[in-house]
Amino acid sequence: MASISATAHVPAWRTVLSLPVVVASLGYFVDVYDLLLFNIVRVPSLKDLGLSEAEISVIGAKIYNWQQAGLLIGGFFWGIWGDKMGRRSVLFGSILTYSLANIVCGFTNDVALYSLLRFVAGLGLAGELGAGITLIAEILPKELRGYGASVVASVGLAGAIAAFFAVKLTDWRMAYFIGGGMGLILLALRVNVLESFLFEKSINKVTSKTVHWWTIFTKRERLIRYMRCMGIALPTYLVIGIYATFGNEFAKALGVPGDIQAGTCVLYTYIGVVTGDFFSGVLSQWLQSRKKAILLMLLMTFAGVLALLYGGINSATTLYICYGWLGFSIGYIAMFLTTTAEQFGTNLRATVTTSVANNVRATVLLTLPVFQFLKPDWGVLQAGAVVGAVCFLLALLSLWKMEETYGKELDYEEE
């Protein structure tokens, strides 16, 4: 297979909108749709299954944790699979797994089965984004990777908006059917997606050494690189998992009048994320620096958090504008994963990128308990400020010593 980078005569826009990029974008769209769907339908689906409000609160949290466990396990499973068997195989296997799981979710009438299906769905969802970003990082010319990340992210994160309206316009069962159906249609589109040239070159090397995935954690320098990749992304899921998800509580603490729904705060945040993710990729190309682009986005996010907590917001309109700004500012999700892919050699690239994507999502399992623990004594705003301060400090420290990877050649391996 010829690498896309070899076709220099092809216009840049056609290269960025090539089939692998388009399919990775649509895959991320379905991924985000299905990932957030349970959060949106949790209450109506469990109520429809006959649970009381008290039971919904407890059991809903348990089912969500099963989904998160699937993401954590799947992040390493699909990553290791991608480095052994190829990035393309992950794109097929992961989408088939979560599409079928979501379709069956639409038929379920049993809470225990519902929990198992969300675990399986999480397992499948874990492979989508990391494998897609790894693939396009390896096939696009080094000068265009940022644009590719912009396309993937902006199309993909629109899946959150689609999930919101799918539930509004249909019922929870049909929303699951829609997600699963979109996945199966996408599976057919992936038949013509070719494998990464760099992966094939690496796997066919006679002199290639086997580097075990666990050396990410046993080799100090490699572990530091891995932790930095996670660290720079901490504010993204801080905003999504705490500030937006508990937007109703922040609104109440600020004294914002009216019935502020957390779901609406999440919606405005994701509208911002879609535009921000496109912007951050273009910004990194313009600055010719991943680090400078991420730093600017981090500073914008920090300004948005200060405005939310201490800006004297007193109306729903201003609050939603603030969440839109926060979403725009954390719109470097695909950019930090592209940077992650560029930090590691071909023989560990999929493992690292896929696991980091899901580990960052799971950081909410650490930040949320701290936020909940501090709330009774410190109040919502101060608790949010303390958790935020820690996340931003770690993000800036991680970025400080990180290698600049703009324009970096990826044809190398870890030893």
Q: What is the mean pLDDT of residues 50-76?
A: 84
Provide CB contacts within 8 A for 289, sequence distance 6+: 404, 406
The pLDDT, as a whole number, for residue 167 is 84
The pLDDT, as a whole number, for residue 9 is 46
The pLDDT, as a whole number, for residue 385 is 96
Q: How far apart are CA 298 and CA 331, in angstroms?
A: 10
Contact 327, 272 (CB under 8 A): yes
pLDDT over threshold 70, residue 49: yes
% of the chain residues with pLDDT over 90: 33
Contact 327, 273 (CB under 8 A): yes
Helix runs in 190-289, H state only:
197-203, 215-218, 220-231, 234-238, 247-254, 262-287
The pLDDT, as a whole number, for residue 324 is 95
Q: pLDDT tens digit string along 100-158?
A: 999 999 999 999 999 999 999 999 988 888 888 888 888 888 778 878 877 887 787 78
Alpha carbons within 13 angstroms on the beta-carbon side of residue 160 total 21
Contact 326, 304 (CB under 8 A): yes
pLDDT over threshold 80, residue 286: yes
| The pair of three-digit structure tokens given for residue 209, joined into one six-digit string | 């050494």
The pLDDT, as a whole number, for residue 390 is 96
Least confident segment among 190-204, 219-233, 238-252? 190-204
- What is the CATH number assigned to the segment(s) 18-191+213-400? 1.20.1250.20
Higher pLDDT, 23 or 390: 390
The pLDDT, as a whole number, for residue 120 is 95
Q: What is the mean pLDDT of residues 197-225?
A: 77
Q: What is the pLDDT of the chain when averaged over all its residues?
A: 85
The pLDDT-based confidence of 208 (bands split at 50, 70, 90) is: low
The pLDDT-based confidence of 2 (bands split at 50, 70, 90) is: very low
The pLDDT, as a whole number, for residue 232 is 95
The pLDDT, as a whole number, for residue 326 is 96
How many residues are recorded in the chain?
415
Q: pLDDT tens digit string along 227-272?
A: 999 999 999 989 988 898 888 889 999 999 888 887 788 889 988 9
The pLDDT, as a whole number, for residue 180 is 92
Provide CB contacts within 8 A for 16, sequence distance 6+: 140, 144, 147, 148, 151
Higher pLDDT, 297 or 153: 297
In the chain, DSSP finds a helix count (H) and a strand count (E) of 21, 0
Amino acid at 133: I
The pLDDT, as a whole number, for residue 131 is 82
Higher pLDDT, 325 or 148: 325
Q: How far apart are CA 160 and CA 149, in angstroms?
A: 18
What would you report as the CA-atom Rg of the chain, rounded to the nearest whole angstrom?
21
Q: How far apart are CA 266 and CA 245, in angstroms?
A: 6
The pLDDT, as a whole number, for residue 7 is 42
Domain ranges for the chain: 18-191+213-400
Three-state secondary structure string covering the chain: CCCHHHCCCCCHHHHHCCHHHHHHHHHHHHHHHHHHHHHHHHHHHHHHCCCCHHHHHHHHHHHHHHHHHHHHHHHHHHHHHHHHHCHHHHHHHHHHHHHHHHHHHCCCCCHHHHHHHHHHHHHHHCCHHHHHHHHHHHHCCHHHHHHHHHHHHHHHCHHHHHHHHHHHHCCHHHHHHHHHHHHHHHHHHHHHCCCCHHHHHHHCCCCCCCCCCCHHHHCHHHHHHHHHHHHCCHHHHHHHHHHHCCHHHHHHHHCCCCCCCHHHHHHHHHHHHHHHHHHHHHHHHHHCCHHHHHHHHHHHHHHHHHHHHHCCCCCHHHHHHHHHHHHHHCCCHHHHHHHHHHHCCHHHHHHHHHHHHHHHHHCHHHHHHHHHHHHHHHCHHHHHHHHHHHHHHHHHHHHHCCCCCCCCCCCCCCC
The pLDDT, as a whole number, for residue 302 is 97
Contact 78, 94 (CB under 8 A): yes
